[in-house]
Each structure stands twice: as C-alpha cells, then as structure tokens.
Amino acid sequence: SYELTQPPSMSVSPGQTARITCSGDLLPKKYVYWYQQKSGQVPVLVMSEDNKRPSGIPERFSGSSSGTMATLTISGAQVEDEADYYCYSSYDSGDLWVFGGGTKVTVL
C-alpha cells in the first residue's frame, strides 16, 4: 500500500503563517487535495489539485507541491482556522486513494 505522511500537530499564533506538509513518494506525479475538518463537522475541501482554491475558501489558504512534498499554507492564521487538516492523493494508476494521517492545527 501507499502512505501520505503529515505531522500530527502544530501550533501557530493568530496572524502568523502555518505550513502543513504532506509527503509521499508519488506526489511528483499525483495531485494532492486538502480538507479541513473542524470538531464534529464534515470535512471541507480547502485546496484542489495541489494549488486550486475552491470557491468560498479564503485567500489566506494556498497550496503548493514540489517533489515528494505538498504544502498547505495558511497565511495569517485565524482562530477559526483551528481544525484537523488532511491531505489526499491517489496511487496505483489512480484507482486507489489514501488520506494522510491528519494534522491538528491549534491557533492560539
């Protein structure tokens, strides 16, 4: 099988920049998607195809991918950005998919 690796947690002060990483051997060839999940809520897509921000997602969210690492950046993190963040990508000819383990982002 295939794995995407994320740091379990990180903390950032309000207004600072949070960079959430996701590493995987196939990322040079596969898109990464990012989801935000607040406590008790359904996941929300915050970044598509490495760096495409869906409608309604604040501009402070941006994405990038280089080599085997993808990064979701929150520039000027807000208290409401406190959540779990998951990366998601495909493997095995795109037929199978996997989530990263998730990163709990604390903004305080």
Partner 1 sequence: EVQLVESGGGSVQPGGSLRLSCAASGFTFSRYWMTWVRQAAGKGLEWVANIKEDGSEKFYVDSVKGRFTISRDNAKDSLYLQLNSLRAEDSAVYYCARSGDLVYWGQGTLVTVSS
Contact footprint for partner 1 (CB under 8 A): 1, 33, 35, 37, 42-43, 45, 48-49, 54, 84, 86, 88, 95-102
Shortest Å, Cβ 88 to partner 1? 7
Among residues 31 and 76, whose Cβ is nearest to partner 1?
Answer: 31
Shortest Å, Cβ 26 to partner 1? 15
Shortest Å, Cβ 45 to partner 1? 5
- 10 Å Cβ neighbour count for 24? 21
Distance, in Å, from the CA atom of 10 to the CA atom of 83, rounded to the nearest integer, reads 11
